[in-house]
Chain A
Amino acid sequence: MAGSRRIEQRFAKLRQERRAGLVTFLTCGDPDAETGFAILERLPEMGVDLIEVGMPFTDPMADGPAIQAAGLRALKAGMTLIKTLDQVRRFRKSDADTPIVLMGYYNPIYAYGVDRFIADALGAGVDGLIVVDLPPEEDAELCLPSLKAGLPFIRLATPTTDDKRLPTVLKNTSGFVYYVSITGITGAKLTQTARVADAVARIKRHTDLPVAVGFGIKTPEQAAEIARVADAAVVGTALVQIIADNLGSDGKAKPGVADLVLKQVKLLADGVRQARLSGARVA
C-alpha cells in the first residue's frame, strides 16, 4: 500500500466509526532496540490508530526534558536512522494497515542523504514524515522531494501560525495537520480545550485534511477531551516518562516496562474511544 493511502484510509475508517483517533509518540529504540520494538509491535492491539516513531537526535530543540532524555537513551543504546527504518520494516511484517509517521529533526536525514532516505523510508513502510526544523521556508530540502515520491509531509501548525500564515503552512502538507496546542516544548502543560477547539476550527476553515492535536496531553481524560474537538489526540511525553520511571540503576529497562507502557496506551485508547459516546463532534 502506498504511504499516503494508509493515513488516508485510517482517517476514513475513523470517520466511519464516528470517533477520533489515538496517536502515540515513542522514541525509536528507547530504552533499547528490543524493548522499544516490543512496545511498537503491540501498539495497534492496544488501540493506537496512528504511530509516530521518534528518530533520536542529540539536540532536539523543540522537545522537553523527557523526550530529550529518551533520545539520548536510545542513542546510547546504539539506535541509528538505519536501525529506525529496520524497526519499521520489521513492524510491517505483522501489520500492513497502521500508519507510521517518522518524527524528528533534519540533520540525521540530511546526513543519511535526502533521496536515499525517502526511498528507504518508503521501502520500509513509512507513511509520512514530521520534521520539526523544516518550516515551509525550507520546503525545497525534503518536503517537496518527499511529496514527489509519494511520501506525505505532515506539517506542524502552532498557536503562532495566524490566518495569514496558515495557507503557507498548509500548502505543501499532506496526510494530516499536526496542531501543536501550546507555544512550548513537548511535555508542557496542556492549554484549555476550548482554545484548542477554536484553533482546530480555524485550521479546518483552511483545509480538508484531518487535524491531530498534540503537546501536553497526558491522561486518558485529557486525551478524551481533545478527542471531542479534533480528529486525533497525540500522546508522547506521558508514555516516554513511564519508560524513564522504570529503568534500573544501570539505566537498562526493568522487566515489564513494555507492559506498563502498553497498559497506559490501552487506557488512553479507551479514553479516546469513549469520548464520542459522551457527545463527540464529527469531523
Chain B
Amino acid sequence: MADLNTYRAGPDAAGHFGNYGGRFAAETLMPLILEVEKAYLAAKADPAFHAELSYLHKFYAGRPSPLYFAERLTNHLGGARIYFKREELNHTGSHKINNVLGQVLLAKRMGKPRIIAETGAGQHGVATATACALFNFPCVVYMGEEDIKRQAPNVFRMKLLGAEVRPVTSGSRTLKDAMNEALRDWVTNVETTYYVIGTVAGPHPYPMMVRDFQCVIGEEVRTQLKEVEGRLPDTLVACIGGGSNAMGLFHPFLDDKSVGMVAVEAAGHGIETGKHAASLTGGRPGVLHGNRTYLLQDADGQITEAHSISAGLDYPGIGPEHSWLHDHGRVTYVSATDAEALDAFQMCSKLEGIIPALEPAHALAEVKKRAPRLPKDHLMVVNLCGRGDKDVFTVAAALGVSL
C-alpha cells in the first residue's frame, strides 16, 4: 500500500481503522459504549483530568520509567545499541497501570460504582485491582482457570488488593474466555458497571482510548533518547498479544519515517504446528469481542484456541489498529516461539540482572536475532513491559526444575 501522510489520524468517528475496529457489540451494551466514548472525549479535553492522571503517574506509578542502556546485552550481541524501556519498574510491575489509572479515573467521572476486568497473565488484573483499592471501587476480575493455575502469584496479589477473582471455566479457560465472561457480566450489570479492558481491543472507543493512555511510553522514549543520544531511535521492538504495550511505544513514532517498528507475536510451539497465538501471521480478519481484526479461526469462522507459554499473549486476536498497520506495512510483525522466549528470558536475567516477564521475553528473542546484524550506531529500543516474578514457576516447569 502507498505511504500515508499520517498513520496517527485513526480511528474515524465510528471507530474504524480502515476496515478494522468498529462496534460489534450487543444492543444492551451499545448505549453505555456510546456513553464511554462521550465521557472519554470530554475527559481528553479536560486539563483537570490530565493533571490528575499525571499526578498519579508520577507519585503513584513511578513515571517516567527509565530508559536504560543495556550495555552487557549490547556487547553480547555485538550490534545495535539496545535500550530497555523499563515499564516493568512501574508500580504493579508492568505497563498495564498506565491504562488502568486512566480508565478508573474515567469510571469515577462517569459515576459508575463497580469495576470489572479480564486478565490473562494477571498483570492487567493486578493493575485494575490496585487502582480499585486506591479509589475504593469494588472490583471483579475474570481470569481463565488455566491462567489461574499458571499465574498463582498474581491471583493472590489481586485478592490481597481486595478484588474478587472469578475463575472462568468455559472454552479454553484463558484470556479469550475471560473476556467473554467479563462481557457477560457487563451485559448483566450495565447500569452500575464500568468494564476496564486491558488492551487495545474491544468495541470503539476502547482501542483508541487504551492506546492514548499507553502512548505515554513512546512519548517518554522520544524525550529520553533525545537526552542521551540526541536523536530518534532506529528500531522499536515490542511483544504483542492484544498489543497495548506495542501500540503505546509505537504510536508516537508512526509518522517518523526513519523509525522502524517490529512487533513480536507468540509463535507457541511454532506457527507450523497450529499451536500458537500469532493472529497476524497465522490468522485472518474476523469479528470478535466488539471489533473486526485478525483472528485465529477455522474455515467456518469458529474461533480456535491460541497457545503460548506466556498467558498474556495467549489470545486469538489482536488490536484492530495493529491489523491496519500490518496491512499498510508500517509495522513489521514477526513471531517468536516458546523456546526462543525462554532462551531470551534467561539471557536477559543473566546478562542484565533483570528478570523479564515471558511476554517481553518474546520481544527480546527478536532483539537477539536482529541486533547482531545491525551496525553499532543503530539505536534499538525494546519495551520491557513487565517483570518476570510472576513467571518463575512456569519457567521452572518448562526448564524441568522443581521448586
Cβ A137 vs Cβ B288 within 8 A: no
Answer whether A161 and B27 are a contact pair too, CB < 8 Å, given A111-B286, A137-B14, A183-B190: yes
B10 to chain A, nearest CB (A): 17
Which of A56, A136, A137, A185 has the largest count of B CB atoms less than 10 A from its CB? A137
- Complex CA distance for A236 and B295, rounded to whole angstroms: 29
Cβ B28 vs Cβ A183 within 8 A: yes
Give A47-86 as 1s and 0s: 1 = Cβ < 8 Å from B's Cβ atoms: 0000000001111111111001000100100001110000
- Of all chain B residues, the one with the shortest Cβ separation from A65 is B170
- Complex CA distance for A58 and B289, rounded to whole angstroms: 12
Cβ B297 vs Cβ A107 within 8 A: yes
Cβ A133 vs Cβ B303 within 8 A: no
The number of residue pairs between A and B whose CB atoms lie closer than 8 Å in the complex comes to: 121
Cβ B28 vs Cβ A160 within 8 A: yes
Of the residues A58, A61, A169, contact of B183 by C-beta under 8 Å: A61
Of the residues A72, A80, A155, contact of B27 by C-beta under 8 Å: A155
- Complex CA distance for A68 and B30, rounded to whole angstroms: 22
Decide if B188 is an interface residue (CB 8 Å cutoff).
Answer: yes
- Complex CA distance for A73 and B189, rounded to whole angstroms: 28
Which of A108, A136, A162 has the largest count of B CB atoms less than 10 A from its CB? A108
Chain B interface, DSSP helix/strand/loop, else mixed: mixed
Decide if B25 is an interface residue (CB 8 Å cutoff).
Answer: yes
Cβ B301 vs Cβ A156 within 8 A: no
A132 to chain B, nearest CB (A): 5
Of the residues B24, B26, B171, contact of A156 by C-beta under 8 Å: B26
Decide if A180 is an interface residue (CB 8 Å cutoff).
Answer: yes
- Complex CA distance for A161 and B25, rounded to whole angstroms: 13
10 cross-chain CB contacts under 8 A: A60-B180, A81-B301, A106-B287, A109-B301, A110-B301, A133-B26, A135-B30, A136-B30, A137-B14, A185-B188
Cβ B171 vs Cβ A137 within 8 A: no
- Complex CA distance for A180 and B289, rounded to whole angstroms: 20
Answer whether A169 and B27 are a contact pair too, CB < 8 Å, given A110-B286, A133-B287: yes
- Of all chain B residues, the one with the shortest Cβ separation from A156 is B27
Decide if A201 is an interface residue (CB 8 Å cutoff).
Answer: no
List, in ascending order, chain B residues with CB within 8 A of A14's CB: none
B16 to chain A, nearest CB (A): 10
List, in ascending order, chain B residues with CB within 8 A of A106's CB: 24, 287
Of the residues B30, B189, B290, B297, contact of A111 by C-beta under 8 Å: B297
Decide if A150 is an interface residue (CB 8 Å cutoff).
Answer: no
Answer whether A59 and B288 are a contact pair too, CB < 8 Å, given A68-B170, A157-B27: yes
- Of all chain A residues, the one with the shortest Cβ separation from B292 is A110
Answer whether A59 and B180 are a contact pair too, CB < 8 Å, given A107-B287, A111-B297, A162-B31: yes
Decide if B184 is an interface residue (CB 8 Å cutoff).
Answer: yes
Decide if B91 is an interface residue (CB 8 Å cutoff).
Answer: no
List, in ascending order, chain A residues with CB within 8 A of B86's CB: none
Interface residues, chain B, CB within 8 Å of chain A?
14, 22-32, 170-171, 176-177, 180, 183-184, 187-191, 286-290, 292, 295, 297, 299-303
List, in ascending order, chain B residues with CB within 8 A of A145's CB: none
- Of all chain B residues, the one with the shortest Cβ separation from A169 is B27
- Of all chain A residues, the one with the shortest Cβ separation from B26 is A62
B323 to chain A, nearest CB (A): 14
B133 to chain A, nearest CB (A): 27
Decide if A188 is an interface residue (CB 8 Å cutoff).
Answer: yes
- Chain A positions 152-193 with a Cβ under 8 Å from a chain B Cβ: 155-162, 165, 169, 180, 183-185, 188
Answer whether A61 and B171 are a contact pair too, CB < 8 Å, given A108-B301, A161-B31, A188-B188: no
Cβ A183 vs Cβ B191 within 8 A: yes
- Complex CA distance for A188 and B27, rounded to whole angstroms: 17
- Complex CA distance for A212 and B25, rounded to whole angstroms: 21
- Complex CA distance for A132 and B288, rounded to whole angstroms: 12
Decide if A134 is an interface residue (CB 8 Å cutoff).
Answer: yes
- Complex CA distance for A132 and B26, rounded to whole angstroms: 6
- Complex CA distance for A180 and B31, rounded to whole angstroms: 15
List, in ascending order, chain B residues with CB within 8 A of A75's CB: 302
Cβ A61 vs Cβ B180 within 8 A: yes
Cβ A183 vs Cβ B14 within 8 A: no
- Complex CA distance for A163 and B230, rounded to whole angstroms: 58
Which of B171, B301, B303 has the largest count of A CB atoms less than 10 A from its CB? B301
- Complex CA distance for A59 and B296, rounded to whole angstroms: 13
A25 to chain B, nearest CB (A): 16
Decide if A250 is an interface residue (CB 8 Å cutoff).
Answer: no
List, in ascending order, chain B residues with CB within 8 A of A108's CB: 300-302
Decide if A45 is an interface residue (CB 8 Å cutoff).
Answer: no
Cβ B31 vs Cβ A62 within 8 A: no
- Of all chain B residues, the one with the shortest Cβ separation from A215 is B28
Decide if A245 is an interface residue (CB 8 Å cutoff).
Answer: no
- Of all chain B residues, the one with the shortest Cβ separation from A68 is B170
List, in ascending order, chain A residues with CB within 8 A of B171's CB: 58-59, 72
Cβ B301 vs Cβ A107 within 8 A: yes
Cβ B22 vs Cβ A107 within 8 A: no
Of the residues B23, B184, B301, B302, contact of A185 by C-beta under 8 Å: B184
Cβ A137 vs Cβ B188 within 8 A: no
Of the residues A81, A138, A162, contact of B24 by C-beta under 8 Å: A138
Contacts beyond the supplied A60-B180, A160-B190: 5 A-B pairs with Cβ under 8 Å: A57-B302, A59-B288, A81-B300, A107-B297, A110-B286
- Complex CA distance for A161 and B34, rounded to whole angstroms: 12
List, in ascending order, chain A residues with CB within 8 A of B287's CB: 105-107, 110, 133
